[in-house]
Amino acid sequence: MSDALLIIDGRVMAHGLDASTSEADQTIDLAGAFVMPAFADGHAHPLFAGREAQGPKVNGLQSVAEIVAEVKRFADANPNSKWIIGGAYEAAIVERGDFDAHWLDEAVSDRPVVLHAVDHHTIWVNSKALEIADLTSSTKDPDGGTIARRDDRSPKGTLREPAAMDLITKLAAERTLQDELAAIAWASDQNLAAGVTCSMDAWVEDGMTEIYVEAAKTGNLKVDMNLTFLAQPQKWRSRVDYYKQMRAQVEALPTDAGLTARSVKFICDGALSAGTAAVLQPYLDDPTSKGLLIWSDTEIIEAATTFDREGLQLHIHAIGDAAVRQALDAIEAVIASNPSWDRRPVITHAQLIDPVDLPRFAGLGVIANFQPLWTYLDPMNKDLILPRIGEARNNQQYQLRKVIDSGARISFGSDWPITDFTPLVALAVPVHRQSPDQQPPEGWSIEQAITIEEAMHFYTAAVAHQLFREADYGTLEVGKIADFIILDRNPLQTNPHEVREINVLATYRRGRKVLPS
């Protein structure tokens, strides 16, 4: 703790008495406000969030009628839009999350409509989109994806996992570069308002690196960003050289551009809410299913070994306990095969971890990247996940305390736009593990609760370490870059349920106030 901070050329140069007695060009009296390092986001999709913001706003709507009305409003206001793409709707408002194309047809029937669900492993489309993609009763489910169907086997309008979603999304009209730059600028402004100055895009497909490079050159990228290239089964081999070229473009930028490309993303499974997360024991609502393992064991090991050898950090999406085990097995195989280096592998989400696998996180040096806002019984958990996996398994999700006690590292990420990007909204949820109306009274699996100090660390210094940026970010030690925020209250002295009400008064990036401007 310190009561004064000296900043010179964008870096912290002194604390306390040394800072307050130094001659400075400008002195700012914060009148007792609380200063802490700026937040960093260890798993997000800011470009996707910016794109969604340019479409119908269906996030938070609680009925099909409300969503359809918003889609119609947007379509009427944008008659020249060839495709209507938006998100993110709450899948739990419909039983099993299977939405019908005919409902969207009531709003728009002459243009394709694609809405992303909040889990972003599911899309809901209208009949025009199904028609353009030529999806019929004879269309087979692609490997690693599913198409919800009517009784006559015709597509209903809900598609799950990238392999199925891509059948439609790949046909969407191309976005302009100006659209993309505007999306990144908007996302950057949202981050800064929330006190986030360093983030990562955890899903970078073909063409997205070029957009980020241009955004960095033009000033539309206003936060530091690490890019995570997407590796997909069967396609990854053709991307090895391309990703090397993209990484070289990023590394050619000036160091103050704030853009890095150090990671590669693997998606091992889907989502528990959709019944596509890979689990060791069958789903209760479908005893024939254990979800989807998107990669074969052999191929993920080969791909992970190849990208690790290129010096890319492994960032692996694994939600079910079977997927977590596959991810750990792949990392273990990589470590055994490749030369040693400071690889810092990440398993993100890690909602279900089998007790046998828990010690392997620390043993293999794996960072568990959790989404703190998910650590309470939200509607998706209660209405979609609980019926599928039962109370015992449901209560074993997000074992933060066990992971900490095992000696493994934890970092936090928002998974924006799947959920809120605001760290202060999520920060204390794993502390009380309750809903905003403080349910359940005892907290959900409260034995897995953490402290507010730990939560602040996981959303700052721990993410800086995950992103190989601990020399510059995460704390306000002397010599580090002066990225910090000013809050109207101290989270350490605030009731955990009131932390979400704390306001960011100002955000500083490299010693310069960027919010308010």
C-alpha to C-alpha distance for 293 and 192, rounded to whole angstroms: 37
C-alpha to C-alpha distance for 204 and 227, rounded to whole angstroms: 7
C-alpha to C-alpha distance for 53 and 191, rounded to whole angstroms: 14
Q: Helices then strands (H, E): number in the chain?
A: 19, 19
Question: What pLDDT, on the 0 to 100 scale, is given for residue 123?
Answer: 94
> What residues does each domain of the chain span?
50-169
Helix%, strand%, coil% for the chain, nearest 5: 40, 20, 40
CB 57 within 8 A of CB 85: no
pTM of this structure:
0.90
Q: Which residues make Cβ contacts (< 8 Å) with residue 363, sequence separation at least 6?
A: none
Question: What pLDDT, on the 0 to 100 scale, is given for residue 454?
Answer: 98
CB 394 within 8 A of CB 448: no
Question: What pLDDT, on the 0 to 100 scale, is given for residue 133?
Answer: 96
In one letter, which amino acid is 290? K
The DSSP symbol for 374 reads G
How many Å is the Cα radius of gyration of the chain? 23
In one letter, which amino acid is 367? I
Question: What pLDDT, on the 0 to 100 scale, is given for residue 387?
Answer: 94
Side-chain-side CA neighbours of 384 within 13 Å: the count stands at 22
In the numeric block, which tokens belong to residue 110?
A: 């002459």
Q: Which segments in the chain show pLDDT lower than 70?
A: none
Q: Which architecture does CATH list for 50-169?
A: Roll (3.10)
In DSSP notation, 120-180 reads SSEEEE-HHHHHHTT--TTPPPPTT-EEEE-TTS-EEEEEESHHHHHHHHTTSPPPPHHHH
Decide: helix, strand or coil at residue 40.
Answer: strand
Question: What pLDDT, on the 0 to 100 scale, is given for residue 31?
Answer: 85
C-alpha to C-alpha distance for 238 and 206, rounded to whole angstroms: 11
Question: What pLDDT, on the 0 to 100 scale, is given for residue 121?
Answer: 82
β-strands 155-160, 122-125 pairing: antiparallel
CB 286 within 8 A of CB 316: no
Question: What pLDDT, on the 0 to 100 scale, is given for residue 508?
Answer: 97
In one letter, which amino acid is 284? L
Question: What pLDDT, on the 0 to 100 scale, is given for residue 242?
Answer: 97
In the numeric block, which tokens belong to residue 24?
A: 């400075």
Segment 426-447, tens digit of pLDDT: 999 999 999 999 999 999 999 9
Segment 436-487, tens digit of pLDDT: 999 999 999 999 999 999 999 999 999 999 999 999 999 999 999 999 999 9
CB 115 within 8 A of CB 95: no
C-alpha to C-alpha distance for 514 and 517, rounded to whole angstroms: 5
